């Protein structure tokens, strides 16, 4: 399932609707982890991917939030709040399942008493226990063609078992080429 398929089933998505995609990432850390793990060959691959993402998707933004985790949380929370108040916004997806920091700003949406219909959560890796209670108040979707469902484990890197990491990537059929196809 890709984003358009998900939205078509969820809200009757029409191809002429504009789709805004914002990614807030700690670029330096992401590039370091991916190159060390052998997921990408070098830093240029990641830079080219994000440049291509920004160029191909007219309302797509991959934004380097620096090294401060709180900046990513604040930017995400402020944007979700902004779009949730915008009646033109049909639906919001959040892919932050690895981070309990989102619980605080998601809780008011969850406490509305009704399963929040305009905000869905993308489960990448399994939700941590503390996050799960809040996640249960939302529609949860998995998009395995776009998002990994396992963490890149540092102990694999330290043990030098890069082949295991590559096998997992092949098994999940995740590649930058697959993700790029989603935005064409």
Residue pLDDT, tens place only, 116-146: 578 889 998 888 888 888 888 888 888 888 8
pLDDT at 1: 63
Lowest average pLDDT, out of 26-35, 42-51, 70-79, 115-124, goes to: 115-124
- Top-confidence residue, 174 or 12: 12
Q: Is the pLDDT of residue 160 over 50?
A: no
Backbone angles phi, psi at 25, to 5 degrees: -135, 155
The average pLDDT across 27-39 equals 86
Q: What is the pTM of this model?
A: 0.73
The residue with greater pLDDT, 103 or 10, is 103
The domain segmentation of the chain, as residue ranges, is 3-182
Give the per-residue SS3 of the chain. CCHHHHHHHHHCCCCCCCCCEEEEECHHHHHHHHHHHCCCCCHHHHHHHHHHHHHHCCCEEEEECCCCHHHHHHHHHHHHHHHHCCCCCCCEEECCCCCHHHHHHHHHHHCCCCCEEEEEEECCCCCCHHHHHHHCCEEEECCCCCCCCCCCCHHHHHHCCHHHHHHHHHHHCCCHHHHHHHCC
- pLDDT classification of 166: cutoffs 50, 70, 90: low
Is the confidence at residue 165, as pLDDT, over 70? no
SS (H, E, C) 36-59: HHCCCCCHHHHHHHHHHHHHHCCC
């Amino acid at each position: 399932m890709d984003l358009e398929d998900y939205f078509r089933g969820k809200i009757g998505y029409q191809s002429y609707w504009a789709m805004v995609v914002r990614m807030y990432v700690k670029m330096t850390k992401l590039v370091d982890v991916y190159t060390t793990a052998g997921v990408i060959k070098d830093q240029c691959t990641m830079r080219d991917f994000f440049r291509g993402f920004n160029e191909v998707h007219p309302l797509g933004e991959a934004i380097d939030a620096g090294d401060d985790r709180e900046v990513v949380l604040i930017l995400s929370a402020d944007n979700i709040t902004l779009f949730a108040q915008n009646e033109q916004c049909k639906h919001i997806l959040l892919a932050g399942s690895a981070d309990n920091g989102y619980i605080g700003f998601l809780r008011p949406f969850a406490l509305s008493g009704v399963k929040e219909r305009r905000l869905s959560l993308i489960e990448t890796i399994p939700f941590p226990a503390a996050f799960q209670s809040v996640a249960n108040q939302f529609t949860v979707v998995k998009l395995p063609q776009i998002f990994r469902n396992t963490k890149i484990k540092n102990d694999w890197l330290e043990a030098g078992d890069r082949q295991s990491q590559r096998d997992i990537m092949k098994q999940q059929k995740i590649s930058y080429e697959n993700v790029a196809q989603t935005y064409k």
